[in-house]
Amino acid sequence: MVMVMPMDEMTQKKRLIERVRDFPRLSVAVVGDIMLDVMRYGHSRATKEAAAFALKVDDGKTNYALGGAGNVAANIRSLGAQVDLYGVLGEDDAGRRIRALCKVVGITLIALKDGQTISKERYFSAEHGTCVFRADFGESPQTLLPLALQKTTELLKLFRLNAKRYSGIALSDYNKRVFRGDLGQRVLGIARRSKLVSIVDPKPENASLLLGGTLVRPNHEEAESIVGVKGLSDRELVRLLKQKMKSTYASITCGARGLVMYDGGFGDVVEAGILANHAAGLAVEKLGTAVVTAGELIRRITFRP
């Protein structure tokens, strides 16, 4: 487990704020499954049909946001870093909306045209104040096939051309298409040769294809699936995860319990974990797909509620 050296609260806050203010100097690549998140709002009512439920959607209150790996990129960009987002999109309305959203927030989108864009639509009822159901599009078996060799080669070529200018790379896996083949392992190979920090967020189904990153960071349930053992202590689980994923560091998010990290002293990786905890707290306080700004993060560090 990480051994945290004693540090007074003011010194720790100062160091964390310095880390946040470093973001504008960073350039980060995000590779993964890009999706469109749609939030539709309306009024619910009962119908004459048995057990039927209707929602009258107000088209003027529909919000669109970058989802999946796109949300990862949006959060990094919101903190001030330069971001290139790699993936695949369909030549469809959802894909066009994603391209437009990236342009608005200043994300450089490097996406090949292939298949159908995945979108997730959440419907919110004014009467209930919560999401009442979700509809997913673009996830039929035909649209979730692994990337063809040609597409993998094209993405790798583009990433290799840009790799030297990145500070790090995030591999954001949602087990849709991008990491079902060997793209992840080949991207990580380029990252190692370019001496880039690599953060891997794997789904258990693709974990064996995403070995050797700097930091691996699944949630608790995913970590148990990856190592194939349940009921371990946090300490045992995170150690086994690091070993299984052949990573330099390992982190497991544990919901309300925060996160647990393994290996190293009180340095960059632990400070990153503390910042992630603050950012996660801010994100869950927001409705729908959210991003956290550098200003919000600094205020949370300074005026911790």
Pairwise pLDDT comparison (259 vs 121), residue with the higher score: 121
pLDDT given for residue 211 in this prediction: 97
Average pLDDT of the residues in 105-124: 94
Taking residues 286-295, report their average pLDDT. Answer: 66
Provide the pLDDT for residue 289.
61
Alpha helices in 212-284 (DSSP H): 220-227, 234-245, 268-284
In this model, does residue 286 exceed pLDDT 70? no
Q: Which is more confidently placed, 157 or 79?
A: 157
Domain 9-302 has CATH 1.10.230.10: no
What's the pTM value of the predicted model, to 2 decimals?
0.82
pLDDT at 148 over 80: yes
Report the Cα–Cα distance between both ends of the chain, in Å, rounded. 27
**Of 129-138, 193-202, 245-254, 276-285, which range is least confident?**
276-285
Is residue 268's pLDDT more than 60?
A: no
Mean pLDDT along residues 218-238: 93
Residue 79 has a pLDDT of: 87
For 248-257, the pLDDT digits (tens) are 999 898 777 7
pLDDT of residue 5: 43
pLDDT bucket at 144, cuts 50 / 70 / 90: confident
Long-range contacts of 202-208 (CB under 8 A, 24+ apart): 202/171, 202/173, 202/226, 202/245, 203/173, 203/174, 203/175, 203/179, 205/175, 206/173, 206/175, 206/179, 206/180, 207/244, 207/245
CA separation for the pair 286, 74 (Å, rounded) = 15
How far is Cα 215 from Cα 197, in angstroms, rounded to an integer? 8
**Over residues 67-88, mean pLDDT:** 94
Q: Which of 55-69, 171-185, 269-283 has the highest mean pLDDT?
A: 171-185
Distance CA 108, CA 90 (A): 17
Is residue 2 scored above 50 in pLDDT? no
Find the mean pLDDT for residues 107-127.
92
Residue 28 pLDDT greater than 60, yes or no: yes
